[in-house]
Amino acid sequence: MLWKAYVWDAATHGVDVVIVLAQPWTVRLLVALLLPAVASCASVASAVVAECAAAALQGAAEVCCDAAIGAICEDSDDGVDDDSDDAVAEVPPPPPREPLPDVPPCASRELPGGVWRLDCVDGTIAEALVGPGVDEGPSGRVVGLADVERLAGVRGLPGSLRIGGAALLRLELPSLHHVDGDLVIEETTQLATLRLPALTRVQGALRVFRNRALRSDPVPALRGASVVDVAFNDVLPGPVVDRLLALAPPPPAPVDNAD
């Protein structure tokens, strides 16, 4: 009985596969049917055909081998062949996104009673007796909605901030963190609510002076100022006044001139 061995290198097929084909044909077929567990269909087919071609009973062997190979390959085609190229399905491009609507940074509307309100995307809020686009006071002072809109979203001012006039009823500037100059809130007649909640630093002076309707602490987070002047605010609560005055730096220590 003649035995032949075919060995495929492990680097090509993942494992060393030994195909043993021998007489009689029943042994060959048994080996061929068991090989798909460890080898690919193409490897088994190549080895079986080569051995069948050299067999003495070539005609009967080819019929038998073709039947065995056909059964093996038909079952193998149902799975994924590691040696075949996987077809890449084309992925359709995503649908184009609709452009986002343009959102203005600030929008104003008229409220009942002739009051105008300004709302900005950063949280700035203002209410005044004068509509948008109207400047009532001198340059450099915040007296109306047009002035407030220019401050929306501003985190720091290189100069001074002055708030005054008779038009403002409410003002909130949540983005403002520091003022390099003075902060002056003076001579307002209708301003009841003023809040600069994020303001922590004023390089210059803090002056809250002659505000008839102011009832709230305008700078709850402020840690200090070079000079503090708080006076003649008709309805500003006493504890708020005391806290603001405490922001002033301590007076210098007296100089002892004694020898």
For 224-248, the pLDDT digits (tens) are: 999 999 999 999 999 999 999 999 9
The answer to whether 207 and 182 are in contact (CB under 8 A) is: yes
Domain spans of the chain, in order of start: 3-76, 106-245
Torsion of CA 171, 156, 211, 241, to 10 degrees: 110
Residue that is written with structure tokens 């400047």 in the block: 135
The string of pLDDT tens digits covering residues 163-207 is: 999 999 999 999 999 999 999 999 999 999 999 999 999 999 999
Share of the chain above pLDDT 90, in %: 47
pTM of the model: 0.58
Strands (E), the chain: 3-8, 17-22, 106-111, 115-120, 125-128, 141-142, 156-157, 161-165, 168-172, 178-179, 183-188, 193-195, 201-202, 205-209, 227-231
Average pLDDT over residues 109-126: 94
Q: Say yes or no to pLDDT of 24 above 90.
A: no
pLDDT for 59 equals 56
How confident is the prediction for the chain on average, in pLDDT?
A: 75
Lookup: tokens for 164: 């005054």
Q: Say yes or no to pLDDT of 131 above 60.
A: yes
pLDDT for 96 equals 72
Query: What number of residues does the chain have?
Result: 259
Average pLDDT over residues 6-12: 41
> Cα(250)–Cα(232) distance, rounded to whole angstroms?
23
Q: Find, among 118, 112, 174, 114, the residue nearest to 145 by Cα.
A: 118
Q: Which has more pLDDT, 18 or 42?
A: 42
- Candidate ranges 17-31, 69-83, 235-249; pick with highest mean pLDDT: 235-249
pLDDT for 90 equals 75
